[in-house]
Structure 1
Amino acid sequence: MSSQLDQHRSEFPYLKGKAYFNYGGQGTMPRPAIAALHQAHDRFQELGPFSSAANAWIVQEGNLTREAIAKELGTTADTITLTEDVSVGCNIALWGIDWKAGDHILISDCEHQGIVAAVRELQRRFDLEVTLCPLLETLNSGDPCAIVEQFLQPNTKLFVVSHILWNTGQVLPLKQMVEICHARSVQVLVDAAQSVGVLPLNLTELQADFYAFTGHKWWCGAAGVGGLYVRPEARERLSPTFIGWRSVITDATGNPVRFQSDGRKYEIATSAIPLYSALREAIEFHAPFAQERYPMICDRSAYLWQQLNQLSDVKCLKQIAPEAGLISFQLVDGKHSQLVQFLEEKSIFLRVILNPNCIRACVHYFTTENEIDLLMSTIQKFIG
């Protein structure tokens, strides 16, 4: 590891004494982001939380954060809505569409349970048709784009899919999927929980209608702030469901007269504003490795994947080297929860995934070979 990366990693104070492989759940925060969070809390109190100065600061923090996110994702600030997390972003899109009885939602069979539950509730309330698109079977062979095209129906209104599947780590050919859907006048909602902070992204070119993400996973920001990209053409048709003072423009008497014309249209009211500066600092912290980040993640993933494949009692779900930072594997004896607990007792952190039943390890660009080697030797001890 280079001295620059050594120094970079040392700025994660809470990685000391542990081997961390749960960035797909929540990243650990770097020191500058933690400091920014504390300073912003102090600043807010100094201004007087409910003062004109504090209000101006809140507006500025929102603007700066949308701009920082937009720059990172290859879009413009007007397309960004600040949210709390991925689920909120997905729900904004799901509930803002003008549904009619008989409309069809196509959703992949690898989506997070929170999004699946929201789609089922939409189905119940609006008498919608919902079909699972079998993408899990394409992990090692097959054409996911062909399957999407096969499962679209004349009444399909929305396709719901992740850019990187949270359970298997498969990176989907999203741009091609979007093109297929748009050719059939179908909008696309993307769960970007595992892609933002990993893949090099240009959302303007990608053209997905809705792209929901969070700052607390691979960006290593504070929990409680994320965002939703809404393509300008899609914003014209997406109504706000949750409405508050941030989403509206008022006249001289305080009467709301219209919605905001940009991403603020879907924002609501009071938020934990100090989280915004912490997220900006976290994003900026990764900037020195912006070009190398994704190749480094893939390199470290391949190293872990190769080590796992040398164990006869372990089976990696993916038969070729990972395309991102998620590596899912199974034990022959199925003792997944026991292994994860055994590892955590030794300050090595992974998680169990229920569908498919497996263990998921996440590696970042600053994950070290020593960490991976420690993980592997501890797994070998557990297996015996």
Structure 2
Amino acid sequence: MDPETLRADIPALDDCTYLNTGASGPSPTRVVDAITDFQHRHKFDAPCGDDGMYDVAAAERQRAREAVAGFVGARPEEIALTRNTVEGINHVATSIEWEPGDVVVRTDLEHPAGELPWERMADRHGIEVRELETEQGRLSLESLKTAVADARLLCLSSLSWNYGTRLPIGEVVDIAHDANTLVLVDAVQSPGQVPMDVHEWGADFVAASGHKWLLGAWGAGFLYIDSAVLEDLEPQRIGYFSIDRHADGEGYTYAPDASRFELGTTAIGPYVGLAESVALFEELGLDAVQSRIERLTDRLKDGLGDQLLSPRDYESGLVSFSVDEPDETAARLVTEGIQIRSIPEPHACRASVHAFNTAEDIDQLLDAL
């Protein structure tokens, strides 16, 4: 597998220049076919088969869990399958026994997925939500030390969605843990774009999804939970997938691993697609992905000149730039067959450059601007 083969297998690229993967990626035929094949097997063959629909579905869920775990450096029992990143963040937010006055620190770089759950916990439990200011996507570690000194939890992104900066997660975790502060990482912009190892990061929780840089289907995400903190979480929802019934049939115990956050029957197709996406990117190799993204973002940044807001040196495929009317510019480019997006803070435009893109894609965007 190479980037050219990947590009040829993405039908959407026949119809537009797609530079918006940071919002949602277009899927390869290979991923959609895997989902479709499963749906046929699950609904046409399994009902009367030896395994039955539930066993077939359970096997695919476990395959997806193992695929994700291997891809991010975790153990399968540390992975809960979710529908998306914000669901994973909500699992954490609602499972901690908050006390009035507890402090949650988040940066000013967070997507609403990393803001709204804490606002809700403030409304419900009287916690304090403290915003840590950054400078064009850069985090001051000295300011961080002060902010987390009395905090219960820190929530931050591995890659900022607005500037494309790569945050020093390992250093951040060390500082937070020195203050006995838990760390939750919103890693949605990382899988499929940069290598990630959750054990090296050392964070307590990592939430992400497969529909962006992994080019998977909507509805498949994951939550990593460090086994050292799992028992301190009390899920606020329950289902027959999340518990072990006591032998006498009376009472229950939550599952001893991260699967305690998985409730019951759900769509399995997206997880089949997630596992296929992981396999695809393992074949591509993330070094090759990063190398191609770096070359293409260099070309884009050179062309943008003083309009560039993201770092000049490569950190990710997210490239933000200033224009007079960001919303109108993004809408105009759609009519010219170019997909990017505007962002609210800073109010600007953002292009997302992936390995399936080409130099011609970059030049088309620059010409249109």
Establish whether TM, by shorter chain, passes 0.5.
Answer: yes
Counterpart amino acid of residue 158 in structure 2: H
* Residue 153 to residue 285, structure 1, CA distance change in 2 (3 Å): same
Question: Gaps (5+ residues) in structure 2?
Answer: none
Shift of 1:52: 5.9
The separation in 2 between residues aligned to 1:264 and 1:98, in whole angstroms, is 20
Equivalent residue for 1:368? 358
Equivalent residue for 1:318? 310
1:30 and 2:28 matched: yes
Equivalent residue for 1:307? 303
Counterpart selection for 1:356 from 333, 337, 346: 346
The separation in 2 between residues aligned to 1:49 and 1:253, in whole angstroms, is 32
Counterpart amino acid of residue 92 in structure 1: H
The separation in 1 between residues aligned to 2:124 and 2:273, in whole angstroms, is 38
1:341 and 2:331 matched: yes
Equivalent residue for 2:110? 111
Counterpart amino acid of residue 159 in structure 2: I
Deviations 1:139-198, CA, capped at 9 Å, x for gaps: 36xx522221121232x1000100101111111001000000001100001111111221
Give the conservation status (yes or no) of the 8 Å contact 2:85–2:188: yes
TM-score (norm 1): 0.91
Equivalent residue for 1:151? 147
TM-score (norm 2): 0.95
Identical-pair percentage: 29
Deviations 1:267-298, CA, capped at 9 Å, x for gaps: 11121111111111112112222132223222
Shift of 1:236: 2.0
Deviations 1:69-113, CA, capped at 9 Å, x for gaps: 011101111110000000000101111111111111111111112
Counterpart amino acid of residue 31 in structure 1: T
Counterpart amino acid of residue 5 in structure 1: P
Counterpart amino acid of residue 305 in structure 1: K
* Residue 29 to residue 256, structure 1, CA distance change in 2 (3 Å): farther
Give the conservation status (yes or no) of the 8 Å contact 1:212–1:227: yes
Deviations 1:250-281, CA, capped at 9 Å, x for gaps: 24565552111111011111211111111111
Give the conservation status (yes or no) of the 8 Å contact 2:205–2:224: yes
Shift of 1:42: 0.9
Shift of 1:307: 1.2
Secondary structure of 2:291's counterpart equals helix
Give the conservation status (yes or no) of the 8 Å contact 2:136–2:163: no
Deviations 1:185-236, CA, capped at 9 Å, x for gaps: 0000111111122121111111111100001000000000100000111212
Equivalent residue for 2:63? 64
* Residue 150 to residue 31, structure 1, CA distance change in 2 (3 Å): same
1:328 and 2:324 matched: no
Equivalent residue for 2:242? 247
Shift of 1:18: 1.0
* Residue 210 to residue 58, structure 1, CA distance change in 2 (3 Å): same
Secondary structure of 2:328's counterpart equals helix
The separation in 1 between residues aligned to 2:364 and 2:345, in whole angstroms, is 27
Secondary structure of 1:229's counterpart equals strand
The separation in 2 between residues aligned to 1:49 and 1:293, in whole angstroms, is 43
Give the conservation status (yes or no) of the 8 Å contact 2:242–2:263: yes
Shift of 1:115: 2.8
Equivalent residue for 1:16? 14
1:224 and 2:223 matched: no
Secondary structure of 1:286's counterpart equals helix
Secondary structure of 1:288's counterpart equals helix
The separation in 1 between residues aligned to 2:83 and 2:73, in whole angstroms, is 21
What pairs with 1:46-85 in structure 2 (closer than 5 Å)?
46=44, 47-48=46-47, 53-85=52-84
The separation in 1 between residues aligned to 2:189 and 2:7, in whole angstroms, is 21
What pairs with 1:151-170 in structure 2 (closer than 5 Å)?
151-154=147-150, 156-170=151-165
Secondary structure of 1:211's counterpart equals strand
Give the conservation status (yes or no) of the 8 Å contact 1:248–1:256: no
The separation in 1 between residues aligned to 2:294 and 2:311, in whole angstroms, is 15
Shift of 1:138: 5.0
Secondary structure of 2:303's counterpart equals helix
* Residue 373 to residue 254, structure 1, CA distance change in 2 (3 Å): farther
Equivalent residue for 1:233? 228
Secondary structure of 1:48's counterpart equals helix
1:195 and 2:195 matched: no
Secondary structure of 1:328's counterpart equals strand
The separation in 1 between residues aligned to 2:302 and 2:229, in whole angstroms, is 43
Deviations 1:292-332, CA, capped at 9 Å, x for gaps: 222322222222111111xxxx621135223001001111x
After TM superposition, the structure 1 stretch with the greater mean CA deviation from structure 2, 166-175 or 314-323, is 314-323
| Structure 1 vs Structure 2 CA RMSD | 1.9
Equivalent residue for 1:382? none
Shift of 1:15: 1.1
- Aligned positions, number: 367
Secondary structure of 1:292's counterpart equals helix
Secondary structure of 1:159's counterpart equals strand
Deviations 1:356-379, CA, capped at 9 Å, x for gaps: 111111001221001111111111
Secondary structure of 2:215's counterpart equals coil
